[in-house]
C-alpha cells in the first residue's frame, strides 16, 4: 500500500512539474503565485502613491490616467548625458520587443530640471524614443514634492557657466501594475532583459 501511494505521489508530482516550471519562467513563483521580480520588490510601499504634474502638452496628469496599463516612471532631465537616454532607449526597446503587449506599457519621464526642460523641449525629447511616452514637469516646488513622494534624490551640480550645470539624481525606474500600485524598483544598469522580465510578470497579472 505504501509503495502504491508513493508511485501515485510521484506521478502527480511529474504531472505538476511542467506547470510549475512555466510559473517559474514567468517569475510567478510557487505557492500563492507570489511574483518573483528581478528588480527590487516594493509591493505595498507607502510611497510613490501620487503623481500630479502637467504633461508635455500642458495637460494635468495623475497616475490614475494610466490605469489599465503597466507604467514605468523615470526621473531625469533632457541634458543628461548617459543614464537618462540609456534608460529611455531600453524601455523603448523592451516595449517594441513585447509586441502587442507593449501597447499596454506606458513610459513616463519626469523632469527634475523644469528650469531648462520646457514643455516643447520635453515633447521633442521623449518622441525621439517613443511617440507614446509621456513627459511630466512642474514648478520647482512641485518637482521637489513629487521627488519626495517617490524618495528620489536630485541636486544641481554647478558647471562652468550658470546655464551649464548638470543634475545628480536617483538612477532607477518605478514599475506600477495595471491598478496603479507601485511594485518594482528597477535599478539603472540591470539591463533590458531584467526590465522585460518584470514587465511580463505585471502584464500577466489579472486586472
Q: How high does pLDDT run on average in the chain? A: 88
* Cβ-based neighbours of 37, under 8 Å, separated by 6 or more: 27, 183, 184, 198, 201
Sketch the domain layout of the chain as residue ranges: 1-28, 35-204
* SS3 at position 43: coil
Looking at residue 19, its pLDDT comes to: 38
* CB count in 10 Å sphere of residue 91: 26
39 among annotated binding-site residues: no
The CATH superfamily holding the domain 35-204 is Glutaredoxin (3.40.30.10)
Looking at residue 27, its pLDDT comes to: 60
Please give the average per-residue pLDDT across 98-109, as a whole number.
97
35 among annotated binding-site residues: no
Q: What's the whole-model pTM score?
A: 0.84
Alpha carbons 96 and 124: distance in angstroms, whole number: 20
DSSP 77: -
* Least confident stretch, 3-7, 37-41, 130-134: 3-7
Q: Residue 154: pLDDT above 90?
A: yes
User: How many degrees, rounded to 5, is the angle at CA 100 between CA 31 and CA 136?
Assistant: 90
Looking at residue 28, its pLDDT comes to: 55
87 among annotated binding-site residues: no
Which of 207, 22, 199 is CA-nearest to residue 99? 199
Looking at residue 206, its pLDDT comes to: 79
Distance of CA 93 to the CA centre of its chain: 14
Amino acid at each position: 500500500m505504501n509503495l502504491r501511494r508513493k508511485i501515485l505521489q510521484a506521478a502527480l508530482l511529474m504531472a505538476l512539474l511542467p506547470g510549475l516550471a512555466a510559473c517559474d519562467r514567468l517569475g510567478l513563483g510557487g505557492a500563492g503565485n507570489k511574483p518573483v521580480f528581478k528588480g527590487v520588490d516594493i509591493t505595498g510601499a507607502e510611497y510613490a502613491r501620487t503623481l500630479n504634474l502637467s504633461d508635455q502638452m500642458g495637460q494635468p496628469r495623475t497616475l490614475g490616467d494610466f490605469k489599465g496599463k503597466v507604467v514605468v516612471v523615470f526621473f531625469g532631465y533632457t541634458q543628461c548625458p548617459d543614464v537618462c537616454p540609456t534608460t529611455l532607449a531600453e524601455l523603448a526597446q523592451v516595449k517594441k520587443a513585447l509586441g502587442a503587449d507593449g501597447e499596454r506599457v506606458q513610459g513616463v519621464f519626469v523632469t527634475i530640471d523644469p528650469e531648462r526642460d520646457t514643455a516643447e523641449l520635453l515633447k521633442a525629447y521623449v518622441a525621439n524614443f517613443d511617440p507614446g511616452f509621456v513627459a511630466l514637469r512642474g514648478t520647482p516646488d512641485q518637482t521637489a514634492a513629487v521627488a519626495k513622494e517617490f524618495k528620489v534624490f536630485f541636486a544641481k551640480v554647478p558647471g562652468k557657466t550658470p546655464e551649464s550645470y548638470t543634475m545628480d539624481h536617483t538612477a532607477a525606474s518605478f514599475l506600477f501594475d495595471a491598478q496603479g500600485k507601485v511594485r518594482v524598483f528597477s535599478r539603472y544598469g540591470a539591463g533590458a532583459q531584467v526590465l522585460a522580465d518584470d514587465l511580463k510578470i505585471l502584464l500577466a497579472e489579472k486586472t
